[in-house]
Amino acid sequence: MPATRWYMTISVIPLPAFRLSISVPTIANHHRHHPHRWEREFDGDWTRWTQYGELRITKAGVRKYQASRNGCSLHDEHWHRATFSSVAEAKRVADRHMRQGYPNSGPIADALSWDIDADIDWWRRSD
């Protein structure tokens, strides 16, 4: 039996004029309808790439998991790292807080917040 080879075809649609006002909503709509899935890493961590950065779930002990976004930890109201009893719970909370801190993100009433992320501080500055 001959070996089967798989090829991936990528089709490119040429646009007559590139307009940023059209492409940004298109990209946002694509991410909304086709989000990246959580992937298990070789070390047991879980990662998910989003338009807001990398979400990561790490094991912190027996039945203890912690969430981070772009290397910044999720904290409770006393500024302790938030710890979850299952991977599913940590993923759910990380997904809910994915947009937190970005413009138009809206408040989340669960007393959890990300550590300060220098990458998103641009919108607070008044240069």
Q: Is the pLDDT of residue 5 over 90?
A: no
Q: Could you tell me if residue 94 is inside a domain?
A: yes
Measured CA to CA, the distance from residue 116 to residue 70 in angstroms comes to 10
Q: Could you tell me if residue 54 is inside a domain?
A: yes
- 43-100 tens-digit pLDDT: 889 999 988 889 999 999 899 999 999 999 999 999 999 999 999 999 999 999 998 8
Q: Could you tell me if residue 2 is inside a domain?
A: no
- 12-28 tens-digit pLDDT: 555 555 555 567 677 77
Tell me the residue range of the domain where 111 lies.
37-117
DSSP code of residue 63: T
Tell which residue, 68, 59, 78, 54, has the closest CA to residue 115: 68
Measured CA to CA, the distance from residue 116 to residue 127 in angstroms comes to 20
Q: Which residues contact 99 (CB under 8 A, 6 or more apart)?
A: 52, 105, 106
pLDDT for the residue 34: 78
Q: Could you tell me if residue 56 is inside a domain?
A: yes
